[in-house]
Chain A
């Protein structure tokens, strides 16, 4: 029986492990955290259906129960080498693994909003990120300003750390537009009296039901969309925020006071992915993610033999796309192992 090590127990890792185990391979799923699900585990509700994220987590747990693969939690790969054509992976706990194939499913990193200094994250009291908001929603916390007042005007800022020369990320993170729409609707439900604005460059509603949700946000939830990228934010005496942008549809500069600003932070290659690239000597593409062997026909192949890629370690993806991508990776690994024995 061939052994496959899958690195990362997020949505892609669990799916790849589950499929590979179903194909009859011995699978070891290595996860650095004490829990599965990666960033999904911290999410409250999902676009475009607004279903609870916990439903996906439950389905992942089901797959783990049904599958016959081993999970090593609280385990990190600390050393990667190759001997006689086989990869040797050592963990921080001193375990040595010698798999026939490896699937990297290390996921993505979040853009550190502090790098967008002009927006004042970590300096101004009432600037939070989409991740901070999701955490509040998951914990059932009331959405309040730091002085305890209910925000009357809220601004979502799109493309923070995405499509932005200054922060060094040219790529589009793909999911932030629809995340902003989803979170704006959720805030409308929680704060019916608040004015809610989304400041965007353009809205990329490419996925199934995305455009419909965007339309609903305007028609049924009174979310106002302003086409303009924020130039800067400052804090007022009462801790509200003065924001400046250019409304590019009306062609006028715009200045507005808001009580709460939510930065829709983008995806980038995470530290784990970067370290794995160093260990496996993999090439990264210009966005920093792992470069697939061929962007059209070999998206799950890395430049190293026996090392496969699944999910957002290669580029930003939705949860659905990550799962599809992980299934594709599992098929490629299965075919690779089958052909290896025929050679």
Chain B
């Protein structure tokens, strides 16, 4: 594979990413499944990079999952999006940063709809005003949170405590990057590196010393697909998609998977357990799974944050093999100890995967 060819593609797909003063749009499911990710994102921006970012408690879901499941009408989701823009406007921000890839796709779709069909924008302004009394300006810059970490990846690495290098061998760690479909497959111009050879996560991996694993099913969907898991009878499709990816990446012996989408992170992590339980098959070394991390968790590890403060104990697949390779010290006894010092209770150990 020719890296220069990829670099050419990357050059064609660079986007404007605001430098400071962000309004943060949280994700609904990330806060449940990977609760340390958004915490790490805000901490990195504020404390490591000295940026101004506003975290607004008045937010709601973007209703994206409902929209993609055909239970939320387009008018409704446009109005919910408009409300978030109104909250941004009220706080005096114009740079909108979105934590979730589904939401990023939603905001991008609606933004483009309003450009192509201004009457939809006017209708939405009317609905929002009528429902809430609010008015809004459009963001001047709209990015996904991974774009921001990509932009400042070298600054983050300059403050590193660890890198993506095997501490014992000095070899770069092999990292699979998985980009959520709605990050760039809908609008390739809105993703760093485009849709076919995205750079947003591979740029972080390379800057932090790792080696990107480009495996045959790299582009394939994780299987989240909304209906595929919402409809219980179709859930096998979802697992089958993730399985196809694991089978394809297995020969490359990846040390970890990083994702920028909540659904992908969740399924790439949890379906490994399901596959282990059903097929007794694991994809990591020594009966382990392949650790799956969000890019903020990985950035946090690079910066030396405590793995349990980053919420890695909430993952299905144990992250310890990766921590060991990176030479990160951690206290196993504190894995299930809450920040208040109380024991949270350890989950039952699965039979076939760790």
Contacts and interface: CB of A to CB of B under 8 A. Distances in A.
Contacts of B219: 232, 234
Nearest to A257: B216
A125 B214 CA distance: 14
B5 A114 contact: yes
B197 interface: yes
Interface in B44-85: none
B216 A242 contact: yes
Interface stretch (A77-85, A116-124, A329-337): A116-124
Interface string A211-251: 00000000000000000000010111100001000000000
A118 B8 CA distance: 14
Contact of A234 (B4, B6, B217): B217
A195 B217 CA distance: 24
Interface string B215-239: 1111100000000000000000000
Interface in B1-42: 1-2, 4-6, 8-9
B8 A235 contact: no
B216 A234 contact: yes
Contacts of B187: none
B232 to A, nearest CB: 24
A239 to B, nearest CB: 8
Contacts of B214: 234-235
A265 B9 CA distance: 19
Given A114-B8, A118-B196, A237-B251, A125 B1 contact: yes
Given A232-B219, A235-B216, A236-B216, A124 B1 contact: yes
B194 interface: yes
B126 interface: no
B117 interface: no
Interface residues of A, number: 15
Contacts of A120: 5
A232 B197 CA distance: 12
A122 B2 contact: yes
**Which of B8, B196, B217, B252 has the most C-beta atoms of chain A within 10 angstroms of its own C-beta?**
B196
A116 to B, nearest CB: 9
How many interface residues does chain B have, given as a range?
Answer: 10 to 19
A166 to B, nearest CB: 10
Contact of A123 (B1, B194, B217, B218): B1
Contacts of A242: 216-217
B218 A234 contact: yes
Interface in B224-260: 251-252
A124 B197 CA distance: 12
Residue among B5, B195, B215 facing the most chain A CB atoms (10 A cut-off)? B5
A232 B196 CA distance: 9
A224 B219 CA distance: 28
A235 B196 contact: no
A74 B45 CA distance: 58
B216 A125 contact: no
A125 B2 CA distance: 7
A122 B6 CA distance: 8
Interface string B190-209: 00001111000000000000
Interface string A256-271: 0000000000000000
Interface string A112-141: 001001101111110000000000000000
A242 B245 CA distance: 13
Contacts of B218: 234
Contacts of A118: 196
B237 to A, nearest CB: 13
B1 A235 contact: yes
A107 to B, nearest CB: 26
Nearest to B1: A235
A71 to B, nearest CB: 37
Contacts of A235: 1, 214, 216
Given A117-B196, A242-B216, A122 B251 contact: no
Interface string A90-116: 000000000000000000000000100
Contact of B9 (A117, A124, A234, A237): A117
A234 B252 CA distance: 15
A117 B6 CA distance: 10
Contacts of B196: 117-118, 232
B200 to A, nearest CB: 16
A117 B194 contact: yes
B287 to A, nearest CB: 23
A330 B96 CA distance: 62
B216 A122 contact: no
A118 B5 CA distance: 12
Contacts of A121: 5
Contact of B252 (A117, A122, A237): A237
Given A117-B196, A117-B197, A237-B251, A122 B8 contact: yes
Contacts of A236: 216
Given A123-B5, A123-B6, A234-B217, 4 more contacts: A120-B5, A123-B9, A124-B2, A235-B214
Interface of A: 114, 117-118, 120-125, 232, 234-237, 242
Interface of B: 1-2, 4-6, 8-9, 194-197, 214-219, 251-252
Closest 10 CB pairs of A and B: A123-B5, A122-B5, A117-B196, A234-B216, A242-B216, A118-B196, A235-B1, A236-B216, A123-B2, A123-B6
11 contacts: A114-B8, A117-B195, A118-B196, A123-B2, A234-B214, A234-B215, A234-B218, A234-B219, A235-B214, A236-B216, A237-B252
